[in-house]
Structure 1
């Protein structure tokens, strides 16, 4: 089996990615939120043009799968009618992850960045280059990938380049926007983007390939992080999850009927800031102790052409034996798209079987190779 192909870019609405079950069309909601009407509309589009589910991603986006090339033009028209499409250029640069619980300054900073990033000088930023807006204390997005980070710290906010342990103190939201754009400009001008169009901040800084100018670095440590939130009531609203981050059209309509805006989180959950009641739908996970919260699994075969194994059926079978507090990861290949970080136990698809990694990532060396699903069911225990 050949090595998994790293695309170097993420699917978008204007640049969908072909997968084993059709096109993957990703929607980047402005300011990371959709209205109840837009949620209902997306549910309708998922059934009309796709596989019937709306997926949440680790970049706080939404995506539809299983879209045929024939249906794609009509889907784009319908997304535009819902107010979820800008132009292709601005959509590609809308790579912001916002604190879903909206610490003060979050949306103000996001609006400023979106306006600044629309300038042509930033058109060369790589497709995966992103900004994390996490200005509160404690930090809620510490585990979320991002190249330029605006984070809470003792006494205020800091700007921190990913790969640096500390950052530069910021006076206010306006300076946060200005300095973040200056850091993006420096990244472009200092050779952060390779000939292939790829580039990430941490890699650029590693080994001294890029040396941050004094005005863009500092010695202020970010605030302590907090664990990712669980489903259920939170901050006056409600966090709703679904198995593997896939919300059925019916479940999404149920959330829309609960009222108010819906914020897309990077935890593969949706947050309803104005809802305290618990919507009733069997596909929704509202219990923080639900066993499916302990397992991560990608699409797997046949939906993903890079996977040689099915993943989610196995994940469902294993979920109830996962100890409290542990995370297990079932990955169709070594890319680890669903959970690109350490898990207590990881099963990685290779040539139709699974390799077993403990306390590691899908690309780490396994302790066992070539396990069949039957062997896993019989032998894998906490």
Structure 2
């Protein structure tokens, strides 16, 4: 397993060959999610999703993706909201060649279990190991969890949507996405431990924050805490508990929690570990030690330790064409450590940039069309593929999102979705525009209720939506 003393940012998922569990392989849950080997048809061609260990890819891998997308797909890559990449427009008959090219670039699962591609869903901060506010470098532990997921043959039965969050306490952290299991670093007199919960999010810092407000609809809040050394065993116990108890049609932890209480799951998980595993009532009001600040993904910010910086930019709506991807790879090699970090805000981070090189790197990102300032409205807009790429989409959300960004008030976060499935956003955005027909949207405002929240106004054009959002932003500036 990777050493806890591994250099920050060292490649994940390159451990020694994993040992396959003696458990029988459970039948995988059916899924329409795209993967590296399962290219799913869509209106604009096939979709291939590439899981990036810790959100990281090397410059050589970036160039391989650019080449493969040009040869076999539409010539662009899309950043996803879980810090992965996907290729759209995969041409008919090119599926096997595309998968082979990506596997040849080292983008497939490690070890002998090719079917483990689906379960490589561990999210960490894109600044893991470098964030000055972090309590622990989660990079080595993330490597251990990926080795577990790829080495235990039974875990291939998990849904491709089943996802894990490993939060090191960074300020640059996406902690508003509900995860099936979340683990968050917390400091106490015994050192750093990982608090964990099921089907939800770590509660953010703040006196006015209620931990109960940050669960999924069936989430648990913080249950207990374990030392970092016990996290892999804990996770294995929780995943096997899910597979032991969840019916075949249950794909997410929230589905199991709808029928079993969290304490029952902990009691069942106890049989898999040799340390006490029970709810810790003292954690019922636990919160992160620092508020997350997603604006740190943009521009240049100092890293921990050596005086270098990470520099980030966001391509419009997360789409990077092949030429831009090759240019980013060259930039990472020339001024950074030769690696790119995808972020769950559909942006790119270049770590380990020397202070003297920061102005040149920022200028290059801007010249490539990436937004590097959180004041730019395009960094506050996300959109699904829409009707141009998806048969379920009722409007051309990508085109409409670009139009909206030109009129959007400062600091207003908006999610455009072509249908209620909300593929582009795993979190609940402050405002959601749900397509009702081509060019028409129902506007929702988040208010704590399930789903998108309260419907503020139906059947709006983009211009009408922009004007209403401006009025709402003035009346509720912290929405």
Fold-level similarity (TM above 0.5) = yes
Deviations along 1:224-271, whole A, 9 cap, x unmatched?
441323411133211221111111212211211112211222121122
Q: Flag the structure with higher helix content.
A: 2
Deviations along 1:172-197, whole A, 9 cap, x unmatched?
2x211111111111122222xx333x
Partners of 2:324 and 2:79 in 1: how far apart? 13
Task: Kindly indicate whether residue 93 of structure 2 is the aligned counterpart of residue 70 of structure 1.
Answer: yes
Q: Structure 1 residues 47, 204: closer, same or farther in 2, change over 3 A?
A: same
Deviations along 1:23-67, whole A, 9 cap, x unmatched?
110011234311111112211222221112111111111111100
Task: Kindly indicate whether residue 279 of structure 2 is the aligned counterpart of residue 226 of structure 1.
Answer: no
Equivalent position SS for 1:369: strand
Equivalent position SS for 1:325: coil
Task: Kindly indicate whether residue 40 of structure 2 is the aligned counterpart of residue 17 of structure 1.
Answer: yes
Report if the CA contact (8 A) 2:176-2:427 is conserved.
Answer: no
Partners of 2:80 and 2:278 in 1: how far apart? 30
Partners of 2:116 and 2:459 in 1: how far apart? 45
Q: Give the aligned CA root-mean-square deviation in angstroms.
A: 2.5
Q: What is aligned with 1:199?
A: 251
Q: Where in structure 1 do 4 or more consecutive aligned residues deviate above 6 Å? A: 377-380
Report if the CA contact (8 A) 1:152-1:222 is conserved.
Answer: no
Q: What is aligned with 1:366?
A: 455
Task: Kindly indicate whether residue 339 of structure 2 is the aligned counterpart of residue 261 of structure 1.
Answer: yes
Determine which of 273, 286, 289 is the counterpart of 2:351. Answer: 273
Partners of 1:72 and 1:9 in 2: how far apart? 16
Task: Kindly indicate whether residue 159 of structure 2 is the aligned counterpart of residue 132 of structure 1.
Answer: no
Deviations along 1:149-181, whole A, 9 cap, x unmatched?
121123222232232221322222x21111111
Q: What is aligned with 2:71?
A: 48
In the alignment, structure 2 segments of 5+ residues that lack a partner are 1-29, 130-135, 200-218, 268-276, 304-308, 472-479
Larger radius of gyration: 2
Q: What is aligned with 1:297?
A: 383
Equivalent position SS for 2:179: coil
Q: What is aligned with 1:339?
A: 425
Q: Structure 1 residues 337, 168: closer, same or farther in 2, change over 3 A?
A: same
- How far is 1:16 from its partner? 1.7
Q: What is aligned with 1:100?
A: 126
- Give the TM-score normalised by the residue count of structure 1: 0.88
Partners of 1:223 and 1:367 in 2: how far apart? 32
- Give the TM-score normalised by the residue count of structure 2: 0.72
Of stretches 307-316 and 342-351 in structure 1, the one that deviates more from structure 2 is 342-351
Q: How does 1:168-207 map to 2 (within 5 A)?
A: 168-172=224-228, 174-191=229-246, 194-196=247-249, 198-206=250-258
Q: What is aligned with 2:147?
A: 115
Report if the CA contact (8 A) 1:144-1:266 is conserved.
Answer: no
Q: What is aligned with 2:202?
A: none
Deviations along 1:62-85, whole A, 9 cap, x unmatched?
111100121212212211221112
Equivalent position SS for 1:285: coil
- How far is 1:353 from its partner? 5.1
Q: What is aligned with 2:312?
A: 239
How many residue pairs get matched?
Answer: 372
Q: What is aligned with 2:474?
A: none
Equivalent position SS for 1:175: helix
Equivalent position SS for 1:307: coil
- How far is 1:379 from its partner? 6.9
Equivalent position SS for 1:329: strand
- How far is 1:208 from its partner? 4.4
Report if the CA contact (8 A) 1:348-1:362 is conserved.
Answer: no
Partners of 2:426 and 2:122 in 1: how far apart? 19
Equivalent position SS for 1:152: strand
In the alignment, structure 1 segments of 5+ residues that lack a partner are 1-6
